[in-house]
Amino acid sequence: MNSLDPRAPLVLDTRELGRRPGSQQEVVRSVEAPAELGIEVLRVPEGSPVELDLRLEAVMEGVLVTGTAHAVLEGECVRCLEPIRDEVSIDFQELFVYDDVRHDQSDEDLDDEVSKLEDDLLDLEPLLRDAVVLALPFQPLCQDDCPGLCVECGARLADDPDHGHDEPVDPRWAGLAALKQDED
């Protein structure tokens, strides 16, 4: 297991809680967003500020982290590709289990899914990453009724609502169209 760096912005030291169930600690800090925090079309820009408001609470099994993260989002509309800039506020909660607590044999299957403390340090990055990704819309739009782009020429339909094209001529009938033009 890799050792956590206590100086990393998303690593918190829980020693102050003293493993006394019921003891609490409030943590408010601004950290730089890690790389790839979001989805392909909408993300928190790397290095931008993420405001964290956290409560760490010692319980019998470990430390319960409850908090809110507030950040700016950047991306693009999936219909018209216009830039999107928005804000997101995400609530999350996770129990970080003490690394020296013994589990039953049946709990071994769950070990990969359990967040653990390492030497009374906890890493918020995986929790923050999961919370942000789950909070983002799967297909972000610049506006709820974005009409998108014209399938023929790529014009942005929101800029030109009356945009249209003549009916395309089916190439199988092109010969008849030429005859009609000759007749006229």
Q: What is the DSSP string of 86-113?
A: EEEEEEEEEEEE-TT----GGGGGGGGG
| Structural domain containing residue 154 | 148-184
In the predicted structure, residue 164 carries a pLDDT above the cut 90 = no
Q: Is the pLDDT of residue 26 over 50?
A: yes
In this structure, are 141 and 176 located in the same domain? no
Question: Do 159 and 71 sit in the same domain of this protein?
Answer: no
Mean pLDDT of the chain: 86
Q: Is residue 1 part of a domain?
A: no
Q: Please check whether residue 50 lies inside any domain of the structure.
A: yes
pLDDT of the residue at 179: 80
Full-prediction pTM beyond 0.85?
no
Average pLDDT over residues 93-117: 71
CB 149 within 8 A of CB 80: yes
Query: Is residue 29's pLDDT more than 50?
Result: yes
Q: Identify the CA nearest to 158 among candidates 86, 78, 80.
A: 80
Indicate if the pLDDT at residue 142 is higher than 60.
Answer: yes
Window from 75-89, 104-118, 146-160 with minimum mean pLDDT: 104-118
**Position 158 in a domain:** yes
Q: Three-state DSSP class for 66?
A: strand
Do 120 and 153 lie in one domain? The reply is no
Q: Do residues 141 and 162 both lie within one domain?
A: no
Q: Which distant-in-sequence residues (6+ apart) come within 8 Å of 143 by Cβ?
A: 158
Average pLDDT over residues 143-148: 90
61-75, 105-119, 127-141, 161-175: least confident range: 105-119
Task: Return the pLDDT at 101.
Answer: 65
pLDDT, tens only, 62-77 = 999 999 999 999 999 9
| Residue 73 pLDDT | 95
Domain membership flag for residue 136: yes
Q: Mean pLDDT across the stretch 14-34?
A: 90
Q: Domain tally for the chain?
A: 2
Torsion angle of C-alpha atoms 155, 160, 161, 166, degrees rounded to 10: -60
